[in-house]
Amino acid sequence: MGRCEKSHRLFIMKKIMYILITTLAAGASPLSAEIQCNQFEIKMYSRIWQVTSYFVQDDLALNPNKDFEMLEPEGIAYNMGSLYVSGDRELWNTNSRLAVYTWQSDILAYSGFRQMPNTSPDWWGPDGLAFNLSADVNSYGSDPNELVSIEADSPLQAGIVDISTGSETGKKPIASANDIAHISSTGQFALIADGNEYSTVTIYDKMLDTPESNYPVLSGSRGLASMNSDFIQWLTGETVIQDGLLLTSEKDGLNKLVIYDLSGNQIGPEQILPVLPSYSKLMERQNSMSSENFP
């Protein structure tokens, strides 16, 4: 997931067919997209947030009635007005395409895709994405055109995607992980892996080579974003002395948010996300895919 700063908005990924954009309801402008599924308000950390969901499954397909490609978001990263979204690499999923959306003036719009390697064994369908904005040439993926990514399918690897061309370089082995974030204050990377009893956050060095610490977190957590201490304090109202990580969890039918500092201490209470986007568009899409479309 992307890095959260005090911009009064959060980008949240739900592993289904929707990108969920939440922004403050007070004074918010209406969001628009080609297919908007739902819009409602939730209360989170004593604030009212407006949630808008979009149907994105067909965005990667050049011909939705014939093509197999579809977008079921796994990784998401935001930088300089653009939102990058990835999914599983198989032909019947993204076919290793990286979707690109623009986000300007509270408007979300699909602007095409970058074709990443799509032939086994080099095919690439990142489960996690993160920008390293440090400009430190001695850190992993720090060029402005580079997007750090992790592939959770075999073989487990990290790689750097060129956001201009879609080419992928710098592969290196990693432990099992579902998402990645770059911690700007320390230059480190954080990876999260969902386990049977609990999820685990592991902090790596700036080259993504060496695990330096780890701690257990809320079970079912599979997504994370780094947050600076000012934003955490503004969001939660808690006294905060160091940066932290926002985690998204899905377990037992509940979607949750929870925040930890970099030492593994939970900040504030868990927040329930009553995210229930409309599935009508999905049903319309499935009903339109008759046997005559796929002989």
Domains for the chain: give ranges and CATH numbers. Answer: 9-285 (2.120.10)
- Look at residue 6 and tell me whether its pLDDT is greater than 50: no
What's the mean pLDDT in 124-149?
96
How far, in Å, CA of 2 to CA of 17, rounded? 18
Residues 6+ apart with CB under 8 A from 80: none
In this predicted structure, which of 135-144, 169-178, 280-289 has the lowest mean pLDDT?
280-289
Q: Can you give the pTM of this predicted structure?
A: 0.83
More confident residue, 70 or 282: 70
Q: What's the pLDDT tens digit per position in 220-246? A: 999 999 999 999 999 999 999 999 999
Q: Could you tell me the pLDDT band of residue 276, with boundaries at 50, 70 and 90?
A: low
Q: Could you tell me the pLDDT band of residue 52, with boundaries at 50, 70 and 90?
A: confident
How far, in Å, CA of 192 to CA of 200, rounded? 6
Q: What's the pLDDT tens digit per position in 150-160? A: 998 888 999 99
What tokens does 267 get?
A: 């900040």
50 pairs with which residues across the strands?
Answer: 23, 41
**pLDDT value at position 18?**
39
More confident residue, 50 or 21: 50
Mean pLDDT of the chain: 82
What H or E segment, with its residue span, contains residue 48? strand 47-55
**pLDDT value at position 64?**
67
- Look at residue 275 and tell me whether its pLDDT is greater than 80: no
Could you give phi then psi for residue 225, rounded to 5 degrees? -145, 145
Q: Is 128 helix (H, G, I), strand (E, B) or coil?
A: strand
Q: What size, in residues, is the chain?
A: 295
Q: Is 285 helix (H, G, I), strand (E, B) or coil?
A: helix
